[in-house]
Structure 1
């Protein structure tokens, strides 16, 4: 092997080693918080807000009574959500004004996600992580 070829091979090996070490360091630094990101059910309950039952009119001359559990990312965010319940009620009315009972029954997950996404626009500190319908009566 010539001296020039040896230098090229050695340079490539050194570069691969440096890139590999950088990748390992990056993964170790970013992976150390993975275990801390797990939120227990107790933490979720502590950071959640249960609404009162809310009555809404549907477009097919029926009405629905809904109750929600709103999960936030912290107790402070839950406190902010309690203050913003009037905005949530307004949003609920706007979202359901053109809905009929069949539409409300068809895709609850998408409905919950829409409410969560639109409510997060109002939130200043923290965010709503989930909204669950915990009671639903349609008459």
Structure 2
């Protein structure tokens, strides 16, 4: 490669360090999720670490409206308590997301899954203690 052996050795060391860094990041990310650790929560743990919204009625994108209720599952009791305190922010996020949905989107399983995933990410962004594991739509009336 290069004429100088010292440059060759330094390049190989740098590539090795970079490769180890990438492998470390991938391993940490894969083992940081509860499912990867084999720690599937029991139903009692899900109920203990979740919070249910009031029934929310709002307009959809178009002429329809929706009545819905959601259960938000978080990873700790502290996160659940924070979620309860931030109920107005959570409702704000839900209403904004629903306002961008159409009747047809909310009538499909794929549309509901997309909505739940978007809500999970956006609610997770406002939490300081813990993370949102999943958002469940527990009631839904679309008209």
- Deviation (angstroms), 1:60: 2.3
Out of 90, 93, 98, which is 1:91 matched to? 93
Q: TM-score, normalised by structure 2?
A: 0.69
**Unaligned ranges ≥5, structure 2:** 1-30, 32-36
**Number of positions where the alignment pairs a residue of Structure 1 with one of Structure 2:** 106
- Deviation (angstroms), 1:38: 3.4
In structure 1, the residue matched to 2:15 is none
Q: Is 1:118 aligned to residue 129 of structure 2?
A: no
In structure 2, the residue matched to 1:134 is 138
5 Å matches for 1:20-39?
A: 34=37, 37-39=39-41
Q: CA RMSD in A?
A: 1.6
Q: TM-score, normalised by structure 1?
A: 0.70
Q: Which has the larger radius of gyration?
A: 1
The 3-state SS of whatever aligns with 1:130 is strand
- Deviation (angstroms), 1:97: 2.0
5 Å matches for 1:63-102?
A: 63-102=65-104
- Deviation (angstroms), 1:109: 0.8
Measured in 1, the distance between the counterparts of 2:58 and 2:68 equals 8
Out of 24, 38, 50, which is 2:52 matched to? 50
Measured in 2, the distance between the counterparts of 1:90 and 1:69 equals 15
- Deviation (angstroms), 1:90: 1.0
